[in-house]
Amino acid sequence: MHSPNGSRAAFPAARRNAMRNAMRNVTHAVLLVGGVLIAACSDNAPPTAPVAASRATPAASDRQTAAERWMALTRQIVGRREPTPGGTARAFALVAVAQYDAIIAAQDAKTRGLHPSEAGAAVSAAARVLAALYPVESATIAGQIAADEAYFPTLPSERDADFGSGMTVGNGIAAAVLARAATDNSTAVWTGTVPVGAGYWYSAPPPALPVAPLWGTVRPWLLTSGSQFRPAPPPAFGSPEFLTALAEVRHDSDTRTAQQLAIAQFWAFGLGAGGPMGYFTDLATRFAMHEHMNEEQSARVFATMHMAMMDASIGCWDAKYAYWYIRPFQADPAIATPVGRPNFPSYPSAHSCFSAAAVGVLAGIFPAQADSLNAMVVEAGDARIFAGLHYRFDVLAGQQLGASVAALALEKMPHGHDQIPLD
């Protein structure tokens, strides 16, 4: 398919800058709820993290909570076992919620005169969920359990706790989380057809099913439905707004610099195991460790962030398959795509949905990191344009959707001794 007007218009630098400034403004909207914090942050805040150059993050302390250790293991396992963005987001959320609810359940048991270990509860909850999702990883999981059984009872905070009874508590919570997962519609089989016509996305050759067309119907944690924050329709194919956005992508394709290519490659390949979910998990861990968060506090960070990222995936895929919007490289075959071509529609950008959701939560919890985190959202959006995969309006819509989910996550974030509802 060729460009609708048969030629490429020059893309004005002033318009490009105006669009990027608009995108930056979107990232600050979620910070209006930044006063909703998990725990009071230290006055001695960690340094902000430069984007693109060194990607430095705050130095962490040596001590790790069970939640932090098992989210790191989740990143490793999911990174080598989970093929889809939505499936990755789902796995992280299930582990994170199970850990948090298990810790709260262990605390509740202490009010009844029992002494289950909060770390033990988190360990067994995470382990049982991971083992159910990825039974082939049973040896890795068993090895981590053994290491934790030797490590946590030696800590002063665990001196009066019973690690074994904590694991019993965690097993019960994991069973409830897995029961919810069994009915979340994540395995529904699509029997529809791909729409055909000008402006519609089409599958990569040879003919293949689009990726997860029913993901927008998966049961969310926070949203009332996948369409709750569905963005307005994208510009009409062939309209002046569409042609302007397509011209930007073509311009970047024709003039792509080494730095732009490096940014595109980083956000496609350089995020490490687990993609955006794994990358922001690592950042969350570093921030939590810098603040010396305890089991409950760090687990709350992970649960809130990963529920937001999971629901952002649901909302993003709902919109993708509501509009079936054509990719830039399909509208103009001269656009080069140096990092591959995802086999699902363009609008909105999934990278922007994910990064804005994660950053909105983390910036609300760790406000000292807001500027550097928001810069990551901007760069993640630019990266997909540099890669020839998205229009500017894809990025803006994804960013707004992710920010809206993050604001909802901070509003609904559990406090005190509240568990996350599983019904």
Closest C-alpha among 15, 30, 138 to residue 401: 30
Residue 407: what pLDDT? 98
Beta-ladder partners of 325: 200
CA separation for the pair 97, 69 (Å, rounded): 15
DSSP 218: S
Residue 20: what pLDDT? 53
Question: Are 150 and 195 in contact, with CB atoms under 8 Å apart?
Answer: no
Compute φ and ψ for 325, nearest 5 degrees.
Answer: -80, 140
Residues 6+ apart with CB under 8 A from 83: none
User: What is the value of pTM for the model shown?
Assistant: 0.89
Residue 6: what pLDDT? 38
For the chain, 423 residues long, the average pLDDT of each consecutive 10-residue run is 41 50 47 35 31 42 86 97 96 98 95 92 98 98 97 89 97 98 97 94 82 97 98 98 98 98 97 97 97 96 98 98 98 98 97 98 98 98 98 98 98 88 89
Q: What type of residue sits at position 134?
A: Y
CA separation for the pair 225, 228 (Å, rounded): 5
Tally of CB atoms within 10 A around 48: 16
Residue 110: what pLDDT? 87
- Domain(s) of CATH 1.10.606.20: residues in the chain: 1-60+212-423
CA quadruple 118, 124, 130, 136: dihedral sign: positive
Q: How far is CA 168 from the centre of its chain?
A: 30
DSSP strands (E only) in 138-285: none
pLDDT, one tens digit per residue, over 237-296 is 999 999 999 999 999 999 999 999 999 999 999 999 999 999 999 999 999 999 999 999
Residue 38: what pLDDT? 30
CA separation for the pair 314, 84 (Å, rounded): 13
Residue written as token pair 């508590």: 169
Angle ∠(98,373,407) on CA atoms, nearest 5: 55
Exposure string for 134-159, b = 16+ CB within 10 A, e = fewer: beebeebbeebbeebeeebbeeeebe
- DSSP one-letter string for 382-393: HHHHHTTS--HH
Closest C-alpha among 276, 252, 159, 177 to residue 219: 177
Q: What type of residue sits at position 289?
A: M
* Rounded (10°) CA dihedral 33, 35, 41, 47: 50
Tally of CB atoms within 10 A around 185: 11
CA separation for the pair 151, 96 (Å, rounded): 21
Supply 324's token pair: 């079936």
Residue 176: what pLDDT? 98
Question: Are 147 and 101 in contact, with CB atoms under 8 Å apart?
Answer: no
Compute φ and ψ for 21, nearest 5 degrees.
Answer: -65, -40
pLDDT, one tens digit per residue, over 38-58 is 332 332 333 233 343 334 445
Residue 206: what pLDDT? 65
CATH T-level topology, domain 1-60+212-423: Vanadium-containing Chloroperoxidase; domain 2 (1.10.606)
